[in-house]
Amino acid sequence: MALCGTTAANVTKMMAAYNGGSSAVAAHHPHHHHHQLQHLPPPHMHHHHHHQQQHTHHLQQLDIEPDRPIGYGAFGVVWSVTDPRDGKRVALKKMPNVFQNLVSCKRVFRELKMLCFFKHENVLSALDILQPPHIDYFEEIYVVTELMQSDLHKIIVSPQPLSSDHAKVFLYQILRGLKYLHSAGILHRDIKPGNLLVNSNCVLKICDFGLARVEESDESRHMTQEVVTQYYRAPEILMGSRHYSNSIDIWSVGCIFAELLGRRILFQAQSPIQQLDLITDLLGTPSMEAMRTACEGARAHILRGPHKQPSLPVLYTLSSQATHEAVHLLCRMLVFDPSKRISAKDALAHPYLDEGRLRYHTCMCKCCYTTSSGRVYTSDFEPITNTKFDDGFEKNLSSVRQVKEIIHQFILEQQKGSRVPLCINPQSAAFKSFIRKVQSAFDPPYTTIWQ
C-alpha cells in the first residue's frame, strides 16, 4: 500500500473532527510529511477468474480453488474461492460437524448470527451464506466473507520490515474493532495474531468468532476456561477464575502489541503453569486482591514461590520502537488485575495511537472520503453498536433437530432480496478435493491444571 503522507492540513482538520480521546494528535509534527508506509507483500495467490456462470435451479455454483486452504479457525477451515456472479475472489469458511450435538449446534448458530450482525471495517462479517440443501441433507454450513491476503502472525514472523508506523496503525485497528465488539457485549476469547487478518494496504480485520460469547454480568455463573491460545491467555484464566470479562481480550492485545514491537512472542511457555510464571517474572508477584478470583490451587502456587519484584523496564529492550509512549500504553494493558486493565475505548485515547488514527483515517478507512477541496472526516472515528448482540435465542434451543430447522430457516431468510443464491457443485473435482482436505485444527482439549 502507499499510505498517503499526512500533512499539516490533515492534522488540523482531523483535530477538529476528533471530539473524543486525546488532543495530542497535534503533537504530530505538522512541518513535515510522513514517509509512505511500506506495502506489505501479499503471500502467493492464484489469480483465477471464473467467467462461466452455470445455473442450477437458479443457483450459481461456487468455483472452489482445489489446492488452496488459506487458514484454519477454532472450528472450521477457510478456502479461497471465486464468486461466479462477479468473478471476485472471496473467502469460504466451511463449518463442519455442525449438528453433532446440541452444544456444537448452539456454538455454530451463535457464530453465524454474529457474522451477520457485525457491521464494522475492522471486524470480519458474512457477505453471504451458501444455499443449504434440503433439511434432510443439511450437515455443513458455508459462509462467504471478504478475502484477506495475510494475517498478523505471518507478517510478524516474516522478514518484512515493520516500522513504528505499522505497529501504530495495526494496534489502532485492533483496538478499534475490539471497542466495537465490546460495545456489542461480545467477548472474542481468542485474540491472537493469526486471527487478525491483514491486506497489503495494512487494513486489518478481527476474525474467527468460534469461541466468542456474550459477556456474563452474573459473577456467580461459571464460564468455560477452554478459551484463548495459551501465549495470549490472561492471568485470571490461567489461575482458574470461574468468571471473567472483556478485559481478557485486552490482555491478548497487550501480548500482541509487545510481539509487534519485539517480533517475538512475549510469554512463550511450554505449559499453563509456566505461562503464569513468565507473567509474574515481568509483573511481579500479584497482590491478594489481584488474585481474588483465582482458584485455591493457583493462589497456593503463587504464594509458595519466591516473592518477585516487577521488571517492567525490560519492555524498553523489546526494540528501538519501544518508546516511552509505547511502553506506557503496553503497561496499561498488561495489568494482572483485570479490573485495573485499560479498556479498548480508553486505550484508543492514548497519545501513542494518535498517529495511527490519523494515518488510518487519512487514506485507509471507508468512513472518511476525499473531495476536490480536501479530506472529509467522519464525525465518529471509533464507532460502537447501537444495539447489543442478543443471545436470547439460545435459551430456547433444546434439541439438535430443532436447531437444525432454525438455522436452515435463518439462512434462507438471510438470502431474501439479495443476489442470486450460491450453492456448491458437489460433483466437481474441486469440491471433492476440498472435502478430502478439510479438517479442524485447534488446541488440544484444555484440562484444569490446579487439581
As annotated, the binding site for ATP includes 93
The strand pair at 141-146 and 89-95 is best described as antiparallel
Q: How would you classify the pairing of strands 374-376 and 369-371?
A: antiparallel
Determine whether 337 is an active site residue. no
- What values do phi and psi take at 79, rounded to 5? -125, 155
Residues belonging to the binding site are 93
CA 35 to chain centre: 28
Helices (H) and strands (E) in the chain, counts: 13, 14
Given a contact cutoff of 8 angstroms between Cβ atoms, the answer to whether 111 and 209 are in contact is: yes
What the block records as the C-alpha cell of 19 is 471530539
Q: In what order do the strands lie in the sheet with 150-151?
A: 150-151, 196-198, 204-206
- Beta strand 369-371 with 213-214 is unpaired
Say whether 77 sits in a helix, a strand or coil. Answer: strand
Q: Which three cell numbers mark 115?
A: 457474522
Catalytic residue from among 151, 165, 190, 249: 190
Distance CA 21, CA 349 (A): 4
* Rounded Cα–Cα distance for residues 263 and 256 (Å): 10
Instruction: Give one DSSP letter per residue of 302-317, joined into a string.
Output: HHHSPP----GGGGGG
Distances (CA, A) of 179 to 246, 346, 412: 10, 9, 31
User: Which positions ≥6 away from 209 have C-beta within 8 Å?
Assistant: 111, 114, 115, 186, 188
Name, in order, each residue with C-beta under 8 angstroms of 3's C-beta and a sequence gap of 6 or more: 34, 36, 37, 165, 169, 201, 202, 359, 362, 363, 364
Could you list the active site residues?
190
